[in-house]
Structure 1
């Protein structure tokens, strides 16, 4: 049987995503990642350069997943917000990873910060092309929409307490309806995109 380096990398990556989502960077253990991936610890260092770099790559990949899955466009905001809400509901690991990153990042810097910032700047550029008045408005718009959707998944206990809904799925469905409606109102207040010549 031949050694498949790419399959090993993928197994390590998937095991690391689960480990980091559960335990954060500080609490994650390389030996548990290696055991879950059916790989040796040396492979983790060889392929990813260590636990901190692996954590950064996992977070970036998960953020990239949602960025590729859902396009936020002011012209179709309610539908996009609904899809984004569904994505977060189906992938709770992203919110957990982002929370761990916020709690554990050294001096406010995160692994791959420059590249991740460039990715968000690309989304802001896309929003500018839809007719938002300036870069600051587009940045604020993007950050607000992301927060509007993510809050239900950041603090699910608050969703339960505030909505007073014992059925978690019904609470999520209620919250989805609300954020989609708020997105509709927000999109109506956004400037209309300029027609293309």
Structure 2
């Protein structure tokens, strides 16, 4: 087994993201995380002071990865919305982890603002919309993740709901909705 501390921390974070995304903080088990990370439970306490600290670190890493992979683009917010949609399709555990954190540990969920702060400020200076730039980004982000957060009973009503065509159509709808929202903002209210 690898005794490199950084490699062990990385394995713990990867295992924690999956465990906490599936079960939350209360339902997540340190033993499962340690087993998946090929280390012992003591390492969780040594590196992260316990499950709560590990959740905070796992969430911060997942959100930092998302912020680096899918930064807001002031000149192409509709394209950014499509990229956020794609990110959540590829990494659904990040959204689930964020939702668990908001429910069980809201102070950890504030990490998102830190991960996006500098990128958001850059977009804020370029926004031309009646809403504040932060409101625009929050709305776009919410729209981009809407299908992943919708009840499966509702989204499965569509035939072949999980198929590539259905997913592509949803992504297209997100991008078009953002484009239209931004057009209305550029033209003024009631544009």
Taking structure 1 as the reference length, what is the TM-score of the superposition? Answer: 0.83
Q: CA RMSD in A?
A: 2.2
Aligned to 1:26: 26
Moved runs in structure 1, 4+ residues, more than 6 A?
Answer: none
Residue 123 (structure 1) aligned with residue 119 (structure 2): yes
Structure 1 unaligned regions, length at least 5: 193-197
Residue of structure 1 in register with 2:138 after alignment: 143
Residue equivalent to 2:166: 171
Show the counterpart of 2:96.
96
| C-alpha distance in 2 between matches for 1:112 and 1:182 | 27
Structure 2 regions of 5+ residues with no counterpart? none
- Going from structure 1 to structure 2, the CA distance change for 1:179 and 1:58 (only over 3 Å counts) comes to same
2:134, 2:112 → 1: CA distance?
14
Alignment: residue pair count: 185
Instruction: Write the distance in 1 (CA, Å) between the matches of 2:33 and 2:176.
Output: 41
2:45 is the alignment partner of 1:50: no
84-93 or 152-161, which moves further after superposition?
A: 152-161
Cα distance change of structure 1 residues 23 and 122 upon mapping to structure 2, 3 Å threshold: same
Query: Aligned match of 1:110 in 107, 121, 133?
Result: 107
Distance 1:128 1:138 in 2: 5
TM-superposed deviation, 1:132? 3.5
* Aligned residue in 1 for 2:11: 11
Matches within 5 A, 1:154-165: 154-155=149-150, 157=152, 158-161=154-157, 164-165=158-159
State how far apart, in whole Å, the 1-side matches of 2:115 and 2:65 are: 12
Q: CA deviation at 1:74?
A: 4.0
Q: Distance in 1 between matches of 2:115 and 2:8?
A: 27
Q: Please give the secondary structure, in 2, of the residue aligned with 1:121.
A: helix
Q: Contact 2:63–2:115 at 8 Å: present in 1 too?
A: no
